[in-house]
Amino acid sequence: MTTLKAYIWQLRKNSYDIGKFYGNFLTKHPDLLARYRQATKKEIDWRNMEAIYSELAPHLLEELQGLAEKLEISYRTAAACFSGYDVPMTKAMGCTTYIDNGVYTRNYDFSPLLYDGIFSMIQTNSNLASAGYNLQLLGRHDGVNEKGLVIGFHFVSNEGYRKGVSPWLSCRIVLDTCSTVEEAVCLLKIIPHAACYNFSIGDEKGNMAAVETSPEKVEVVLGEGALACTNHFKHKEMILKNRSNIAGSLQRQTYLERLKGKCWDQTEIFEHFSEESSPLFFTDYKDYFGTIHTFSYSFEQAIIKTALAKSTQTLEVDFKKWVQGTNINESLLTGEITEG
């Protein structure tokens, strides 16, 4: 049994100072910095990355600059290590999302070896405030912003893999700049994607969609009343990009569709996702398919619920109050990893 940890950050700073905060954190956690360097390329086409981010998310370039300065490394090195652009192909991962009865709920399934262990809430003067789990520092596994827009990514395949923006940076850019599902869809059609991923998205107006993205095209599957999203494409124009074996993804999809009509509240659906006995909870960590965290958001109440695997501690945040300036007292989440 291994203890799993996630730091809770509450950052109300400009983008450059947020980058410096990242750098200061890494100076105290050299093991995490070493992992980033091992998992990324030594060099990337940073000018191309810069051109993309200058148009879509210039504040991320400021974060990179602050990060580079604090770590005393070059901007080019910081870009290769943290920008989320032109990263090596990732292994297959899970991730299951269900949106119903005004609640977005998601399990992130992968390996703790490639997990930042950070849940951050960020507020700046230039972008929308957001809360979510960090990936490669700047990116997000999943999260919600002050407009009540929620997003998470789901690996599908590496079909047609090319230089492009990782899904975790796409999530971050959407959270920082979009207010509705419609705006998020438009942005995801512009971003140059590196691989094939689903993005499960919902907003406080009740709109929901699975945006199926690949390096070549983007298609949208709208939710009607409820939305289940796993790790395969469903749009007829995209299904050829699925992996050859999607039995597990189809099984989870079918299971979620059977939940429609149960009218569970946020606590009930959250507990169903996070309980170890749940058919949506996995322990195949060695094969990069173990549940790491559960994330949930109530659109009506603006409440975040989240917990790490097998945790007795559920973090609950009134995100509307946080955006208005009320900090929370918690600073750490803990959980447990047990191989199945």
Residue 186's H or E segment, with its range, is: helix 181-188
Q: Which residues, including other chains, have CB under 8 Å from residue 321's CB and lie 6 or more apart?
A: none
The average confidence (pLDDT) of the chain is 96
Q: Which residues, including other chains, have CB under 8 Å from residue 310's CB and lie 6 or more apart?
A: 276, 335, 336, 337, 338
Contact 218, 212 (CB under 8 A): yes
Q: What is the pLDDT of residue 288?
A: 87
Mean pLDDT score, 208-232? 97
91: pLDDT strictly greater than 80:
no
Each residue's pLDDT tens digit, 123-146: 999 999 999 999 999 999 999 999
Q: Distance from first CA to last CA of the chain, Å, rounded?
A: 11
Contact 119, 198 (CB under 8 A): no
Sheet containing strand 208-213, edge to edge, reads: 218-222, 208-213, 196-202, 150-157, 139-145, 130-135, 118-123, 2-12, 332-337
CA dist 104 and 226 (Å) reads 10
Contact 142, 133 (CB under 8 A): yes
pLDDT band at residue 147, thresholds of 50, 70 and 90?
very high
Q: What is the pLDDT of residue 106?
A: 98
Each residue's pLDDT tens digit, 49-80: 999 999 999 999 999 999 999 999 999 999 99
How many residues comprise the chain? 340
Each residue's pLDDT tens digit, 248-262: 999 999 999 999 989
Work out the burial of residue 95: count CB atoms within 10 Å of its CB; fewer than 13 is exposed, 13-18 middle, 19 or more buried.
buried
Q: What is the pLDDT of residue 287?
A: 86
Contact 162, 194 (CB under 8 A): yes
Number of H helices, E strands in the chain: 10, 16
- Domains annotated for the chain, with CATH where assigned, are 2-82 (no CATH), 96-332 (3.60.60.10)
340: pLDDT strictly greater than 90:
no
Work out the burial of residue 187: count CB atoms within 10 Å of its CB; fewer than 13 is exposed, 13-18 middle, 19 or more buried.
middle
CA dist 112 and 138 (Å) reads 18
Q: Which residues, including other chains, have CB under 8 Å from residue 279's CB and lie 6 or more apart?
A: 252, 255
CA dist 163 and 215 (Å) reads 9
Tokens standing for residue 277: 């006995």
pLDDT band at residue 312, thresholds of 50, 70 and 90?
very high
Tokens standing for residue 255: 């299971």
CA dist 175 and 184 (Å) reads 9
Using a cut of 0.75, tell me whether the model's pTM lies above it: yes
Mean pLDDT score, 168-191? 98
Tokens standing for residue 60: 């991320």
Each residue's pLDDT tens digit, 256-310: 999 998 999 999 999 999 999 999 999 999 888 999 999 999 999 999 999 999 9
Tokens standing for residue 38: 């091992």
Q: What is the pLDDT of residue 29?
A: 94
Contact 3, 309 (CB under 8 A): no
DSSP string over 262-311: ----HHHHHHHHHSTTSTT--EEGGGTEEEEEEEEEETTTTEEEEEETT-
92: pLDDT strictly greater than 90:
no
